[in-house]
Amino acid sequence: MKTNVWKVDKYVDNLESNPQIVDAAQVLRQNEVVALPTETVYGLGGNAKNDEAVSKIFAAKGRPVDNPLIIHIAEQNQLNEFVAEVPRKASLLIETFWPGPLTIILKIKEGILSDKATAGLGTVGVRMPDHPVALALLKACGLPIAAPSANSSGKPSPTTAQHVLEDLEGKIAGIVDGGPTGVGVESTVLDCTEDIPVILRPGAVTKEQLEEVVGEVRVDRALTETDLKPKAPGMKYQHYAPNAPLYLVAGSHAFLQQLVKDKQQEGLRVGVLTTEESVNDYQADVVLACGTRAEPETVAASLYGVLRNFNHEKVDIIFSEMFSNSGVGHAIMNRLQKAAGNKLIQE
Ligand code: AMP
Ligand code: MG
């Protein structure tokens, strides 16, 4: 299949009637799948009401079928079509954070969405993306759009159209190229089906920000206790992994440098993941900086691109510094731990 690329300038007015958007929306209405930019990462969109479209998403990504998709909407009133109820706390969060990187899990109204999109769970994850191109496309097609990240399952999520093409060219009908995404890590997934909301996946909206609006918020214990089953089916899979094995290193830069030296002596091509502050602390084959520690948002924004660059550099092994677990650092560490398959070396 030829993958069409629609280039769209996200800053132009009246995006909804932009011919590229109109064209892409038409392809979505024909139940084909189309990658689109959001403020977090690129998503792979398809008509959430149609089994055939949803099956194409799973097939293109090679995604396990028990892993439900997040449904994207452009207007709040679209919720009533497929959600059974919106509890008060969920309403407050929607008012505060939408459009934005917060996915809310709600009870479903049966029979509207494809069961394949929701993995038959009886609940659905919904969000309204804060990106002019995504919103215009959603409005132009007038459908709830199921959209997981537009990468091959298990790989780092795409933050540019080029990343999407690397993984999915020839497997999807098209991609709307709206430039690089902003946040760089996926949305926070929050279960609002119980009285006290539970974070199932940390993301750009932090626990502290949520608690300011609705009081106590819990974190799914399975995120830290590896013997428990996560409530978000997707969190049990290895994810975001570069091709080479990645090790998190808790220790000094000198300790990490010694690990590099040892592996180089074994003849391996070694990569180091650090930040701009510390690039000169390492002599490795490939040293890549992931933003600056002073601004954790910059680390989130460049994390997946850097993981993909290690693939381009064809390293044999990667050692990564650790990051603080607070604020957006919670999401950064969650993704790095997954990318590392929880491999940790302590000094
Ligand atoms: P992705 O779309 O690839 O960013 O992944 C979406 C994440 O949300 C996965 O970890 C899913 O398992 C999770 N998710 C989606 N819908 C639900 C749901 N109804 N209940 C629990 N987790 C969900
Ligand atoms: Mg994903």
CB-ligand 1 contact for 101 (6 Å cutoff):
no
Residue 211 included in any domain: yes
In this prediction the pTM is 0.95
- Report the Cα 1 to chain-centroid distance in Å: 25
Looking at residue 196, its pLDDT comes to: 98
Whether residue 32 is predicted with pLDDT greater than 80 in this model: the reply is: yes
Tens digit of each residue's pLDDT (9 = 90 or more) over 13-24? 999 999 999 999
Question: Is residue 217 domain-shared with residue 295, that is, in the same domain?
Answer: no
pLDDT for the residue numbered 87? 97
Q: Which CATH number covers residue 122?
A: 3.90.870.10
33 and 86 in one domain? yes
Q: Is residue 252 part of a domain?
A: yes
Q: How confident is the model at residue 292 (pLDDT cuts 50, 70, 90)?
A: very high
Pair (262, 216) in one structural domain: no
Is residue 110 domain-resident?
A: yes
Which residue of 41, 71, 201 sits with most ligand 1 atoms within 8 Å of its CB, as the best mutation to test the pocket?
Answer: 201
Last residue of a domain, one of 208, 223, 238: 223
First to last CA, the chain: 50
- Give me the pLDDT at residue 227, please: 81
Q: Mean pLDDT, the chain, as a whole number?
A: 96
Q: Is residue 338 part of a domain?
A: yes
Q: What pLDDT does 239 receive?
A: 80
Ligand 1 neighbourhood includes 157 CB (under 6 angstroms): no
Contact 341, 238 (CB under 8 A): yes
Q: Whose CA is nearest to atom 12 of ligand 1?
A: 234
Q: Is 200 in the pocket of ligand 1 (CB under 6 A)?
A: yes
Kindly report the CATH number assigned to the domain that includes residue 324.
Answer: 3.40.50.11030
Residue 324 included in any domain:
yes
pLDDT at 208 over 80: yes
**Co-location of 114 and 146 in the same domain:** yes
Q: What is the mean pLDDT of residues 152-159?
A: 93
Q: Residue 234 falls within a domain, yes or no?
A: no
Cis-peptide into 99, omega within 30 deg = yes
Res. 270: pLDDT tops 90:
yes
Same domain? 108 vs 162: yes
pLDDT at 129 over 80: yes
Q: What is the pLDDT of residue 241?
A: 87
Whether the Cβ atoms of residue 86 and residue 92 lie closer than 8 Å to each other: no
For residues 24 and 88, membership in a common domain is answered with: yes
Choosing from 33, 42, 70 the residue with most ligand 1 atoms within 8 A of its CB, the one to mutate for a pocket test is: 70
Q: For 210-265, how does the pLDDT look when each residue is reduced to its tens digit (9 = 90+)?
A: 999 999 999 999 988 878 888 888 888 878 889 999 999 999 999 999 999 999 99
* Inter-residue contact 223 to 330 (CB < 8 Å): no
Q: Is the pLDDT of residue 150 over 80?
A: yes
Residues 265-282: what's their mean pLDDT?
Answer: 98
86 vs 105: CA distance, rounded Å: 10
pLDDT at 254: 98
Q: Are residues 196 and 307 in the same domain?
A: no
Residues 201 and 92 in one domain: yes
Any domain includes 241: no
Cβ of 299 below 6 Å from ligand 1: no
Count of domains forming the chain: 2
How far apart CA 341 and CA 320 sit, in angstroms, is 13
Minimum mean pLDDT range among 41-55, 222-236, 316-330? 222-236
Asked whether residue 105 falls in the same domain as residue 189, the answer is yes
Question: Is residue 22 assigned to a domain?
Answer: yes
Asked whether residue 257 falls in the same domain as residue 182, the answer is no
The DSSP secondary structure of 175-201, one letter per residue, reads: EEE----SS-SPPEEEE-SSSS-EEEE
pLDDT one-digit tens code per residue, 75-115: 999 999 999 999 999 999 999 999 999 999 999 999 999 99
Same domain, 212 and 306: no
Q: Which domain holds residue 342?
A: 246-346
- Percent of the chain beyond pLDDT 70? 100
Ligand 1 touching residue 68 (CB < 6 A): yes
pLDDT tens track for 169-183? 999 999 999 999 999
Q: What is the dihedral of CA 134, 137, 140, 144, to 10 degrees?
A: -70
71 and 214 together in one domain: yes
Question: Which ligand is nearest to the Cα of residue 151, counting in written order?
Answer: 2
For 57, residues 6+ apart whose C-beta sits below 8 A from its C-beta are 33, 44, 45, 46, 63, 69, 146, 147, 148
**DSSP assignment string, 307-332:** HHHHHHTT-SEEEE-----STTHHHH
Specify the pLDDT at position 234: 85
